[in-house]
Amino acid sequence: MFRPRRNLRGSGSSLERDSPFGCPVNKSATRGRSARRAVAITLVSALLAVASIIFSPAQTAAPSSSSGLGPAYDAAHEVTITGTVDQVVTQHAVGSPAGMHLLVASSQGVVDAHLGPFLSEQTKSALEKGAPVRMLGAMLSLHGKDYLLVRQLTVGGRTVILRSPHGLLVHERVPGEQRPARARKEKPATTEGGL
């Protein structure tokens, strides 16, 4: 004779449904297998992504610094160039380092000096055609063109630091100018005399 299947749903057991073969199935065990399968798929995907990065062919487009944040800076071969500003270039040209450039007439010819994007308004206003400048930096050849990555710029009687000693661009600090709110740390209020 034919017997109807038992439904154990209301019995408080972890057996909640019947399998197609007529025997009860433990739903929590099924959930555990599904979770393990999802974790395994995620791990395999992550390993494949890492492997594709590690074993991908090397890129030869442009040199980069050790941190991957921009063009390589050769601190061991820094040079000092003096001259006069011939042109201030604010529009980015494809293939050149992003940020402001100066074309400087010097004894070595016209030098394309990369200043970066973090100049103060005070420094920008001092950079006009014919202004004498002194620049300390390292040369970089990129896409067949030479650039001076300026680390220190002297213009209008002021010396401005544009890069760290390792060549990373830094924000120019102007005395009396407030830093952006995200860069400032609030100091707790203190009273004189103490508590």
Model pLDDT, residue 51? 62
Q: How far apart are CA 17 and CA 65, in angstroms?
A: 61
Pairing state of beta strands 109-116 and 132-142? unpaired
Domain 75-161: assigned CATH number: 2.40.50.140
Model pLDDT, residue 81? 96
Model pLDDT, residue 64? 37
Model pLDDT, residue 22? 59
Model pLDDT, residue 70? 53
The SS3 assignment for 167 reads: coil
The pTM for the full model equals: 0.54
Encoded amino acid at 193, one letter: G
Model pLDDT, residue 128? 93
Model pLDDT, residue 134? 97
Model pLDDT, residue 20? 58
What parts of the chain have a pLDDT lower than 50? 12-16, 57-69, 186-195
Instruction: State both tokens at 167.
Output: 């060549």
Number of helices (H), then strands (E), in the chain: 2, 8
Model pLDDT, residue 189? 46
Q: How far apart are CA 8 and CA 163, in angstroms?
A: 72
